[in-house]
Amino acid sequence: MSDKKENADPEAVTVEDENRLIAERRGKLQELRTAGEAYPNDWRPDSDAAALLERFADEEAWTQEALEGLDERFCLAGRIMSRRIMGKAAFVHIQDGSGKRIQLYLRRDDLPDGVYLAFKHWDIGDLIGVAGRLMRTRTGEISVHAEELRLLSKSLRPLPEKWHGLTDQETRYRQRYVDLIVNPEVRETFVRRSQIVRAIRNFLDQRDFLEVETPMMHHIPGGATARPFVTHHNALDLDLYLRVAPELHLKRLVVGGLEKVYEINRNFRNEGVSTRHNPEFTMLEFYWAHADYDDLIRLTETMFQAVVSQLPGLEDGRVNYQGHEIDFGGQYRRVSVTEAVAEHYPALDKADLRDARKLHEACEQEGMHVEQSWGWGRLLMELFEHGVEQQLIQPTFVTGYPIEVSPLSRRNDEDPELADRFELFVAGREIANGFSELNDPEDQAARFRAQVEARDAGDAEAMHFDHDYIRALEYGMPPAAGEGIGIDRLVMLLTDSASIRDVLLFPYLRPEAE
């Protein structure tokens, strides 16, 4: 059949129509198989649409006459996105791996015998190879005047029709391969994600940090207070945990003398799914010997300024995110947890902020569920998370975290109830978490024991006791500072994406019904 029916109807294609189109395309594929022309793998493009469109963009320099005098032939490969057949000639747009579309001009008499007739039976979505010289149409559009044309891969399923596109969010996430074809802005999001990760790597490499890889399956889950996924090693008959964080392994490397290390890693947490959380996510973690959390704050501010300013369109450090203009280029605010809670809850005076009873009452007044066993530190953080953090729009370093919620952090010398720790908040969400590392093995062992008690009391996110990590610390770990940065949340900020699913190529979804 002609593809006119397939591409001219502005209404959504019905299931019956789609099944009919698939059946017709399968019939065409069978004809190709019979002729021995299905799925060839001998076409080698030497150009792409983006490069050609950029190189020949200047219409005054590259007139039709200038293009005719160009002794150069170009070979491309791409997907048919539209076509217009006019008897013995046709105009076609293909989209290639560069993400750009370029026009082809096909004329029957300029192609080998039978090729143009075969082309008339090809479909939108088919992958083709084309070779020819460049021309400029009367409207000024750069086009490839085809001298060779090959069908490289038959598309058996019709693309979403061009009037409505692929708009259903769940379908877009589930069929990301189609989303990338028909929604160009999606491709740009993931190009930017790659640029962000590359800029972070360059920043750390230039400062002599060593990139390393640590295990993703652990005997003991550690490095964060989170519920782990459990798997099983059949040969060893041993339960293992997908890592919730690489922290304890990276700090073992610091003990071993690798004093500036980082890993851009996948972590797994058996927790809820939301616009900000995915069970599998990407983190940057790095550790720096002979540095403290204040050094990390300065490094982090410099890193964010450098990374953002390297991204196209964000050179001034200003980012628009969900209606807010966020300035990454200036100096970031610093505020302690206590100061932030006091600002938001003026009914609590300074003494109340370390009074578990007063904080418990304040939480209940806010309609929050809290446990009687929680100390003032946990309750203070519940109030902070409930009412404060979503107000922190501009980049803000929050410091002075209670030891109770910081089991791996070094105690503050002046106030042992607090940790030398910070978190960076932007647009109301945590982006980074860093602290001066606890390198006292006896203090760490005591905190592990407290975590085990919390687990025994029902806290599924509390840590296990890691005897080997304590042994490592007993060999002596230099004073150090470490930090984790959520790559997915950072990409959300820098691509104006409301959901974490928009920045994950394959976000977690429930399996489709059979």
Q: What whole-number distance in Å separates Cα of residue 351 and Cα of residue 361?
A: 14
DSSP 3-state of 418:
strand
Residue with tokens 């076609």: 92
Report all structural domains of the chain as residue ranges with CATH numbers, in order of start. Answer: 4-165 (2.40.50.140), 243-332+394-481 (3.30.930.10)
User: Structure tokens of 92?
Assistant: 């076609």
CA geometry: angle at 94 spanning 98 and 507, to 5°?
55
The arrangement of strands across the sheet holding 480-486 comes to 210-211, 260-268, 280-289, 480-486, 429-436, 421-426, 396-399, 333-336
Residue 227: name the closest of 458, 506, 487 by CA. 458
Q: Which residues contact 409 (CB under 8 A, 6 or more apart)?
A: 401, 403, 419, 420, 421, 435, 436, 437, 438
Name 286's bridge partners. 262, 483
Place of tokens 């300065």: 298
Helix ranges (H only) for 310-393 are: 337-344, 356-365, 376-383
Residue 40 DSSP label: -
Q: Quick one: the chain helix, strand, coil %, rounded to 5?
A: 35, 25, 40
Q: Residue 339 corresponds to which amino acid?
A: E
Q: Are 119 and 90 in contact (CB under 8 A)?
A: yes
Q: What is the pLDDT along the chain (514 residues), one digit of tens a residue?
A: 344 444 443 345 678 888 999 999 999 999 999 999 999 999 999 999 999 999 999 999 999 999 999 999 999 999 999 999 999 999 999 999 999 999 999 999 999 999 999 999 999 999 999 999 999 999 999 999 999 999 999 999 999 875 456 778 888 999 999 999 999 999 999 999 999 999 999 999 999 999 999 999 998 888 777 888 999 999 999 999 999 999 999 999 999 999 999 999 999 999 888 888 899 999 999 999 999 999 999 999 999 999 999 999 999 999 999 999 999 999 999 999 999 999 999 999 989 999 999 999 999 999 999 998 899 999 999 999 999 999 999 999 999 999 999 988 999 999 999 999 999 999 999 999 999 999 999 999 998 898 888 888 888 778 889 999 999 999 999 999 999 999 999 999 999 999 999 999 999 988 887 6
